[in-house]
Structure 1
Amino acid sequence: MMEMKDFITTQDWQKSKLDKLLEIAEDMKKNPLKYKNSLDGKSICMFFYNPSTRTRNSTQVAAYQLGMHPTFNSIKDSWIGYQSESIKDTSVVLARYYDAIGIRIFPNAVNYIYKEGNRILREFARWSDVPIVNFEDDQYHPLQALTDIFTIKEKKHQVEGKKIVISWAYHPKPLPYSVPNSILLMSTRYGMDVTLAHPEHYDLDDDIINVAKKNTKDSGGSFQISNNIKDAYSDADVVYIKSWGAKKHYGDAKKEKKLRLPYRDNWRIKAEYLDYTRPDSLFMHCLPIRRNVVADDDAIDGSHSVVYDQAENRLYTVKALLYELLKE
């Protein structure tokens, strides 16, 4: 078993361990039969407080290909969802049935108390004897970040020194910070030249920004923040778009809406914005995406877009993680 029992944020893991996961994922994609049924007889509990498409399905298929038995559990079908059982009791018992437990818990499941979802995952980890895998909480989405850096490496062959723009995009609703937090932390650890682009009032968590700055110092990359799309996108190798909410009105969508409405047109990502980037730049989004609201069809389906390859790679990265956590 690895030095880290759990996978709650990539920041908890040594970079050499993340590198190893990426190497395994690459090999699994090229040589799937090599790993067939390599975790035969093992099982994973997939515990969801919130909906999922890519995380749920990629994990189920990955587990099946490894010979595992994945079991889907909805919070509404479990006693903990009715406040009738503690996290401790739930975690201890599930850990006696399963070899790993994956949990997804969004901000709405914890009444928009920022970091409460992450705290719950860490409490599960405290009581569990088996690995806890973060399927996305209110602060981090490590499986997505692992896939994102894997996809960039796959397309660009190296990531160090490449310019990535992590760009806010308009969405009718305030979305969680988990994806932007996670790609910011991951890209700064991998020596990329990172530009975080967003309108005023849409700053990310100060703690995350400070860790990103430290990552940059350690990795030899760079980090800057811009409120101007043209300046930010200029000569970018990667444009990663994602919406998130304003800290000022976290949990209050009605008040927050007044802040975001003025950006509805200019921060809807258009194909012409990608003209500012390098000719071979990548356009990325974690999906799901509201077409012609968050970004235009011409951007999503254009020559720069790798969103479907990025989504496909969720299979190989979660498969690599399960293998590395659970192999004998």
Structure 2
Amino acid sequence: MPQACKFPLNFRAIGLQQNIQMTTAKPIKHYLQFSDLTLDEYDYVLERTRILKKKFKNYETYHPLHDRTLAMIFEKSSTRTRLSFEAGIHQLGGHAVFLNTRDTQLGRGEPIEDAAQVISRMTDIIMIRTFGQEIIERFAQHSRVPVINGLTNEYHPCQVMADIFTFYEHRGPIKGKTVTWIGDANNMSYTWIQAAEIFGFQFNISTPPGYRLDQAMVAESSRPFVREFDDPREACEGADLVSTDVWTSMGYEAENEARKAAFAQWCVNADLMQRAKPDALFMHCLPAHRGEEVSADVIDGAQSVVWDEAENRLHVQKALMEYLMLGRV
């Protein structure tokens, strides 16, 4: 008598084992805005950033994410975001898949929820750079793996984490310091506000009339850490860090000429930097337009740390991916 086929039993056993693994797996942690991590978690991730950067500088191979796949979904184009994430996952032993919404079914009307289900079953972590925050929130709700905000109209958490690490490298802890933002109340400024509450520093912001903070975007608990100024010179008084961004963010190109006129007095120049502390740093998330939001002598001057800041995107994102996938190592 032929032996009964054992495949059904094996398949049932495999299915049972998978169900047990799914029910005992730790909750998925996403990074969609700066407030998604606690101060204790940031202390850990920033220390891991220091360690991973040292390994990078010493050409030390470190592959904790061997055979892991990062999906990078771009609705907004980028230089630094793509390069830092793609190089970062490679340096950790994994590899990246680049997806542009124009070349995928997402660009042809596939529901975000369906795309999240499919992409997250084939990869281990996902980074999205898109327009509205609600897009990445909906995607994360239906993802089986961690989702990272590479930039939205509302928030840019990876950049601010890199900025804070850069400040740590050059000046030490940022707690109790003053960070001044000159220019548009954009995704960077709203992310800095969340960071101010978590790390305990003062955030000064000066914007032209008509481009000020949307108070609905500022949590009640964050407001004691924020001071708004009409005059950019007053905002820079005693600052430890002065930062800015382009006057016209991606997606607002139709407003470019109107913004140039409105922001003309909000250029970070030598006069503004002289009002900050003598050892104040200047940062810019790049790309920069010299002669518009910043003068050439400032961004190319001794107080500028923009190139360290740009490189540190690579290192903080490596530490972040390691933490979201492996936890504390």
Farther-moved stretch of structure 1 (55-64 vs 187-196):
187-196
Structure-2 separation of matches of 1:20 and 1:296: 36
Residue of structure 1 in register with 2:78 after alignment: 52
Counterpart of 1:121?
136
Distance 1:17 1:4 in 2: 15
Match for 2:170: what amino acid?
Answer: K
By relative contact order (CA 8 Å, sep 6+), the higher-ranking structure is 1
Deviations 1:194-228 (CA, angstroms, capped at 9, x unpaired): 2111122221221233x2x51365xxxx4311011
Structure 1 position 198 matched with structure 2 position 222 = no
2:169 maps to 1:154: yes
Summarize deviations over 1:276-301 as a string: whole Å, max 9, x none.
Answer: 11111000110011122221110110
Q: Which residue of 1 aligns with 2:15?
A: none
Tell me which amino acid in the other structure corresponds to 1:302: G
Separation in structure 2 between the aligned mates of residue 317 and residue 98 of structure 1, nearest angstrom: 21
Among the aligned pairs, what percent are the same residue? 31
Aligned to 1:15: 39
Instruction: Name the structure 1 match of 2:261.
Output: 261
C-alpha contact (below 8 Å) 1:43/1:99 kept by paired residues: yes
Which stretches in structure 2 are left out of the alignment for 5+ residues? 1-24
Question: Which protein has the larger Cα radius of gyration, Structure 1 or Structure 2?
Answer: 2
Equivalences, count: 300
Summarize the Cα distance change of 1:2–1:283 in structure 2 as closer, same or farther, 3 Å threshold. Answer: farther
Gaps of 5+ in 1: 107-116, 170-175
User: Which structure 2 residues correspond to residues 1-328 of structure 1 after superposition, within 5 A?
Assistant: 5-32=29-56, 36-83=62-109, 85-106=110-131, 117-168=132-183, 177-209=186-218, 211=219, 214-215=221-222, 222-243=225-246, 253-254=254-255, 257-258=257-258, 261-264=261-264, 266-327=265-326
Change (3 A) 1:2 1:34: farther
Structure 1 pair 259–100 and aligned structure 2 pair: CA distance change class (3 A): closer
Aligned-partner Cα distance in 1 for 2:258–2:209: 13
Letter in 2 for 1:205: D
Alignment RMSD, CA only?
2.3
Q: Note if contact 1:233-1:273 (Cα within 8 Å) is conserved in structure 2.
A: yes
In the alignment, residue 93 of structure 1 is paired with which amino acid? V
Amino acid at match of 1:187: A
TM-score between the two structures when normalised by the length of structure 2: 0.85
Where has structure 1 moved over 6 Å in runs of 4 or more?
none
